[in-house]
Amino acid sequence: MADPTYRDGLRNITRDIAATILQREGLAALQARKIALAANCSVGTLYNIWRNLDELTIAANAVTLAQFGNLLVAARDGTGSDADLEPRLLALAEAYVRFAVENQPAWRALFDHRMAPAHTVPDWYRDAQRGLFAIVETVLQPYVPDLAERARASRALFGSVHGIVSLALDEKLGNFDRADCEAQVRFIVAAAARGLAHRP
């Protein structure tokens, strides 16, 4: 039986290797043999510490989620808790664009990864995803007191920004223009902020 300390250490090593591959090359490059080679272990050992490649991908994506969340928190806190809604939401939106553009392979992996039909996304990962929405919700709280409505509003804003960025990076509507993408994001977020700030 493997030493638990060795097992945990190897899980961390292979998770970090997988996260680095996602950061540099994207989801398509995440292969068991490549990870095992970089970790100096066999593919069999890799599958002894991870049930399947989906589980390892989720763990690697969680590293990206944490980095993404840290950037959003820094953007939110950088405006100050007493700032108006619009600059706080704009700071979050601009941080989203920056992260997606500058970390494109890993950012895409967050949304492109699909679990095999027999596998389910673990609850802890869903909680990590919800943590991103919670960052937006803390900004919305003074303006949207109802919890359920605030959750919907945060997801609507997140989805709007994500859609604009995704269309732009995929060049679905023309060549990618970062300045224009940022302007579109500012337009929709500012409009939403003004509407929320002046609700009866």
Q: What is the CATH number of the domain that holds 83?
A: 1.10.357.10
Q: What b/e sequence results for 50-79 when a residue is b if at least 16 CB atoms lie within 10 Å of its CB, and e otherwise?
A: beebbbbbbbbbbbbbebbbebbbebbeeb
From 189, 86, 196, select the one nearest 146 (Cα to Cα).
Answer: 196
Give the per-residue pLDDT at 1: 42
Rounded Cα gap, residues 190 and 90, in angstroms: 7
Give the per-residue pLDDT at 60: 98
Give the per-residue pLDDT at 2: 54
**Burial category of 165 from C-beta neighbours within 10 Å (exposed 0-12, middle 13-18, buried 19 and up):** buried
DSSP secondary structure code for residue 67 in this structure? H
Rounded Cα gap, residues 58 and 53, in angstroms: 9
Rounded Cα gap, residues 128 and 176, in angstroms: 30
What are 47-105's pLDDT values in tens digits? 999 999 999 999 999 999 999 999 999 999 999 888 899 999 999 999 999 999 999 99
Rounded Cα gap, residues 193 and 199, in angstroms: 10
From 157, 148, 155, select the one nearest 189 (Cα to Cα).
Answer: 157
Give the per-residue pLDDT at 17: 98
Q: CA torsion angle for 99, 105, 106, 112 (degrees, to 10)? A: 110
Helix (H, G, I), strand (E, B) or coil at 16: helix
Q: Which two tokens stand for residue 11?
A: 């899980």
Which regions in the chain score pLDDT beneath 50? Answer: 1
Q: Helix, strand, coil shares of the chain as percentages rounded to 5?
A: 75, 0, 25
Give the per-residue pLDDT at 28: 96
In this structure, the number of other CB atoms found within 10 A of the CB of residue 83 comes to 14
Q: Which domain holds residue 172?
A: 4-197
DSSP secondary structure code for residue 143 in this structure? T
Please answer whether residues 190 and 85 qualify as being in contact, where contact means their C-beta atoms are separated by less than 8 angstroms.
no
Sequence-distant (6+) residues with CB within 8 A of 18 are 30, 35, 56, 57, 59, 60
Number of domain units in the chain: 1
